[in-house]
Structure 1
Amino acid sequence: MQTNKPTIIAVTGASASGKSLFAQTIYDELLPELGPGGISIIKEDSYYKSQSHLSMEDRVKTNYDHPSAFEHSLLTEHLSALSSGDSVDIPTYCYKTHTRLEETLHLSSTSIILVEGILLFSNEELRNKFDIKIYIDTPLDICLVRRISRDTVERSRSIESITQQYLTTVRPMYHQYIEPNKPFADVVVTRGGKNRMAIEMLKAKIRQIMQRK
């Protein structure tokens, strides 16, 4: 039975687990083959709530690893719209100012939609939107090293602020909201975002799905 309904694939795991690299690699390697109408990628980080009403001091205090930091209802709404063939305007989030920008990203529905983020499985309504659920299982010590390397370069943060946030929110929230939801995954991937066997297996699955559409 052929269907034009998008197949939505979630890629989740701890912060700096390699989930973004995994999803981006799938997207980059299949885009030339499937074309812009064939595959797209959405980042959960885009749906951090607007904090324009807060001072910078208060924005910094936000627990960005708690489900309440995200507007999951809007992401769920957007995935429903894309599933119906409609287009959506995805928010743009700035890590340096800790709030949304005025610009949005217009996204049309595609046959394959990749969604990556840390808390995709924490919301039942959102979780039910995913046809395939992938969990990137990476040891936390490796995640911390990667997070320090990333945030000092890409987000202009100090090592002290990164480690403090890791100890007070990132690690506790992982144990409370991310790791407990691993059983919802259809596939658990080890060795982070560079697991070529897992990447090739998902690419093969996507090709199989495309043949049925």
Structure 2
Amino acid sequence: MQLGEDQLSAMPGFSGTDKHSTMKSSPRVSGFEDIPRPFVIGVGGGTASGKSTVCSKIMEQLGQNGINEKQQQVVIISLESFYKPLTPEQIVLARKGQYNFDHPAAFDEQMMLDTLLDLKANKTVQIPEYDFKNHCIKSETLRTVNPTDVILFEGILVFYFKDIRELFNMKLFVDTDADTRLSRRVLRDMKEFGRDLDQILRQYTTYVKPAFEEFCLPTKKYADVIIPRGADNTVAIDLIVQHIQELLRGSVKSNAPQRSRHNSDSLVSRPH
């Protein structure tokens, strides 16, 4: 289901009221017994499409900003946390922009799966942080993620891995045009990582664009909801937030967790 401004009003589960309300700050949401806990949402899309911004806006509208991590009902986890450690030879290539960070083989699929399974079992997990300037995992800065109600798992290939994909209760694809994504990536990589334009464009044409077309774009078919224009589509984000709120309150009886996740069903029926 593609959420454009002309296709939103017919979306089931939305009453059209209380669009901008926030979740209560209690440890658990009333009525949450009716759906899986945690409710895991995958957020896919191309590099610099606005996945992180969409997740941040969802967090903001759910009233989660500024809340202590131990009390948060919603957490964001990035696919980038699951890069495989690079060998010394690979680090040399990465510094030259000659390592493919967009290929599925760059990610630790088993670590991703174990982490999500632990979270779905309401266990506390430790998640590493990847250092893109030095191309290594920051072993000294592990992030602790406690049991929570909603998990937003975002990244370019979150729908590529079958076992990971089947853990999602809702799948969103952030759909932004290629020119916008490229311009955002250029500005970000120059500002945050100090890379020169030639290196950025060479890496984009050699690795990023081909990987998007081969591995990321085909996973769009698995999305329950497609968000055109990404975070600029405030109407879509508002309605997604409202749907999450109603699910958590138990006011929407969703059968999604019981359905096979092999085929997509709509809600009607940093480097990335």
Deviation at 1:58, TM superposition (A): 3.1
Deviation at 1:146, TM superposition (A): 0.6
Alignment partner, residue 167 of structure 1: 205
Alignment partner, residue 209 of structure 1: 247
Structure 1's 210 and 152: CA in aligned 2 closer, same or farther, altered over 3 A? Answer: same
Matches within 5 A, 1:125-204: 125-204=163-242
Alignment partner, residue 118 of structure 2: 81
Q: 1:98 aligns with which of 113, 131, 135?
A: 135
SS of aligned partner of 1:125? helix
Deviation at 1:206, TM superposition (A): 1.1
Greater strand fraction, Structure 1 or Structure 2:
1
Greater helix fraction, Structure 1 or Structure 2:
1
Report if aligned partners of 1:87, 1:109 keep a CA contact under 8 Å in 2: yes
Structure exhibiting the larger radius of gyration computed from Cα positions:
2
Report if aligned partners of 1:31, 1:38 keep a CA contact under 8 Å in 2: no
Q: Deviations over 1:130-185 (max 9, x none)?
A: 11000111111111001001111112111111100100011000110011111100
Unaligned 5+ segments in structure 1 are none
SS of aligned partner of 1:115? strand
SS of aligned partner of 2:173? strand
Q: How many residues align?
A: 213
Q: 1:113 aligns with which of 151, 169, 179?
A: 151
Separation (CA, whole Å) in 1 of partners of 2:233 and 2:63: 19
Separation (CA, whole Å) in 1 of partners of 2:161 and 2:176: 22
Alignment partner, residue 79 of structure 2: 44
Deviation at 1:2, TM superposition (A): 2.6
Structure 1's 33 and 140: CA in aligned 2 closer, same or farther, altered over 3 A? Answer: closer
Deviation at 1:3, TM superposition (A): 4.6
Q: Deviations over 1:88-116 (max 9, x none)?
A: 00011001011101121010121000011
SS of aligned partner of 1:134? strand
- The answer to whether residue 46 in structure 2 is matched with residue 14 in structure 1 is yes
Report if aligned partners of 1:12, 1:136 keep a CA contact under 8 Å in 2: yes
TM-score by length of 2: 0.74
Structure 1's 141 and 74: CA in aligned 2 closer, same or farther, altered over 3 A? Answer: same
Separation (CA, whole Å) in 1 of partners of 2:242 and 2:65: 12
Separation (CA, whole Å) in 2 of partners of 1:41 and 1:175: 26
State the one-letter code of the partner of 1:138: T
Structure 1's 32 and 122: CA in aligned 2 closer, same or farther, altered over 3 A? Answer: closer
State the one-letter code of the partner of 2:48: A
TM-score by length of 1: 0.94
